[in-house]
Structure 1
Amino acid sequence: MPKLDPRFVTTPLAHRALHDVTDGRPENSRAAIRAAIDHGYGIEIDLQLSRDGVAIVFHDYQLERLAEAKGAVQQRTAAELAGIPLKGGDEGIPTFAEVLALVAGRVPVLVEIKDQDGVMGPNIGALEEAAARDVARYDGPLAFMSFNPHSVAKLAELAPDVPRGIVTDGYSAQDWQLLKPAVRDELRQIAEYDRVGASFISHQASDLKRPRVAELKAAGAHVFTWTIRSAEQDAIARQVAENVTFEGYLAAFPDV
């Protein structure tokens, strides 16, 4: 099991990079990534898959909330997506390879593979393959994670030397209506942690007191949390979590 770079513990992680559309920095944009680097922050980004099999740095499955277009990300090629402006900025949607070249190992990069199955099942693989290809020659602190344990297990096959973790949650029925109760129960218990060779979890901030989180931490798992939106929330979260994924404020660096 690959070890997580210690900089992931000491460097706050900017959620979808250091975004602020009032300053021309949309979510997951090059501008937000450059801003995070300038502040010395780590970067959390999201990957989706283009129609032609390229890993794209974009959070949503649909374009309309974040970009000047409508429809599914997977219906567009990488070249088409590059030409679609992000709302609140002056640039198109970047590929994962472009973002890696921009970061160039200067700060930690935490990469979330968005679930492509739809219900956290095993119908995955193409996005994981694209992401693994892009990081094959990358030199710098980087880790993969996903809500879907099948995705994390696939990454263990495709990129065995890259640290990996599971994005975890309280999995309420209200927030996860598409998931069957049995699936929510299994995911809530983080039952696949050992099987997929994870070294960390990134857990929902409001659910950090869950006993399973404490159990994993006591067994040596790194515990991160999402999404922290103030210094006050940060202080509370760090009573359990080693590091935070933050947005909407400038997180303080921990004393080490």
Structure 2
Amino acid sequence: MCGVDIVLKDTTYPAIEAIKYGFGIELDTNILKDGTVVCFHDRNLKRMCGVDIVLKDTTYPAIEAIKIKDSDETILKLEDVLTYINGRVPVMIELKPFGKKRRHAKTVYQIIKDYPYPISVQSYNPYIILWFKHHAKEITRGQISEFFRNDSLPNLSKWLMRSLLTNQLTKPHFINYGIMDLPNKYVDKQKKKGVIIFGYAAKNQKQLDFMRKQYDNAVFEDFMPKQRKV
């Protein structure tokens, strides 16, 4: 999966229509208390929907009628989004590190295992990537990371994550690293080993051009690139 991907702040059908330009798409997912996997970036609905509901503590029937702010769009199930995309472009699924991680990984796999089109998974959490290595080797998997300067993680965890040391166990097929922290020696070492390197999120053509020249490609948002990398 080396095509450019679009990051969606909210995964709604109108937003997904960006695929008409031929770019791949990234889907952020959370797992609910009832095991439903939804396409939603945040752990809480407050910012995007104006209601204070934590996704891991709720069920789909409880939120399916809630609207995204300033729209008539609702929160979508992963399987419904994949049916809608139907192989028109490659899909990269991010598993957010909230809720029960093993259950999240297993459920996403059950949804995508028979999807007959290009698809991959990625996560910040190395345990999720390790699960796919052990139980779903056929699925392309990627590790997301950055320097975590503004994160509340313990310093040791930050170091392990930014240095990509967990890759020795998880063996990801690609890395998706924060553009604001590139270039760096950790990513460059992985690049020399032949690991595919993405960056997130390119906010303009200059950042996208940098990623395409220095590494492989990038997730982008808030602008339309001049052309698609093939």
TM score, norm. by length of structure 2? 0.94
Which blocks of at least 5 consecutive residues in structure 1 are unaligned?
A: 1-7, 20-26, 118-122
Q: Deviations over 1:209-251 (max 9, x none)?
A: 1111111011110000001111122222323231111111102
Partner of 1:207: 181
The aligned amino acid for 2:140 is: P
Q: Deviations over 1:136-157 (max 9, x none)?
A: 2111111100011011111223
The 4+ residue runs of structure 1 with deviation greater than 3 A are none
Query: Shift of residue 28 of structure 1?
Result: 1.4
**Structure 2 residue 25 is matched with structure 1 residue 43:** yes
Relative distance call for 1:31 and 1:193 in structure 2 (3 A) is same
- Equivalent pair of 1:226/1:245 in contact (CA under 8 Å): yes
Q: Deviations over 1:16-41 (max 9, x none)?
A: 2xx6xxxxxxx2112211x2221111
2:97 to 101, 115, 134: 115
Q: Residues of 2 paired with 1:86 and 1:36: CA distance?
A: 18
Query: Shift of residue 128 of structure 1?
Result: 0.9
Partner of 2:108: 131
1:243 to 195, 217, 224: 217
Q: Residues of 2 paired with 1:202 and 1:151: CA distance?
A: 15
The number of residue pairs the alignment matches comes to: 230
The aligned amino acid for 2:142 is: G
**Structure 2 residue 71 is matched with structure 1 residue 89:** yes
- Structure that is richer in helix per residue: 2
Relative distance call for 1:42 and 1:160 in structure 2 (3 A) is same
Partner of 2:14: 31
Relative distance call for 1:164 and 1:210 in structure 2 (3 A) is same
2:136 to 142, 153, 159: 159
- Equivalent pair of 1:147/1:167 in contact (CA under 8 Å): yes
- Equivalent pair of 1:36/1:42 in contact (CA under 8 Å): no
Q: Residues of 2 paired with 1:180 and 1:95: CA distance?
A: 33
The aligned amino acid for 1:152 is: I
2:151 to 164, 169, 176: 176
Q: Deviations over 1:38-62 (max 9, x none)?
A: 1111101111011201111101001
Partner of 1:75: 57
**Structure 2 residue 86 is matched with structure 1 residue 104:** yes
Relative distance call for 1:51 and 1:255 in structure 2 (3 A) is closer
Query: Shift of residue 253 of structure 1?
Result: 2.8
- Equivalent pair of 2:43/2:98 in contact (CA under 8 Å): no
Partner of 2:45: 63
Which blocks of at least 5 consecutive residues in structure 2 are unaligned?
A: none
| % identical equivalent positions | 24
TM score, norm. by length of structure 1? 0.85
Query: Shift of residue 77 of structure 1?
Result: 1.3
Partner of 1:150: 127
Query: Shift of residue 80 of structure 1?
Result: 2.5
Partner of 2:34: 52
Partner of 1:23: none
The aligned amino acid for 1:102 is: Y
Q: Deviations over 1:121-141 (max 9, x none)?
A: xx6211111111111211111
Q: Residues of 1 paired with 2:15 and 2:24: CA distance?
A: 11
Q: CA RMSD of the aligned region, Å? A: 1.6
**Structure 2 residue 206 is matched with structure 1 residue 229:** no
- Equivalent pair of 1:229/1:248 in contact (CA under 8 Å): yes
The aligned amino acid for 1:127 is: H
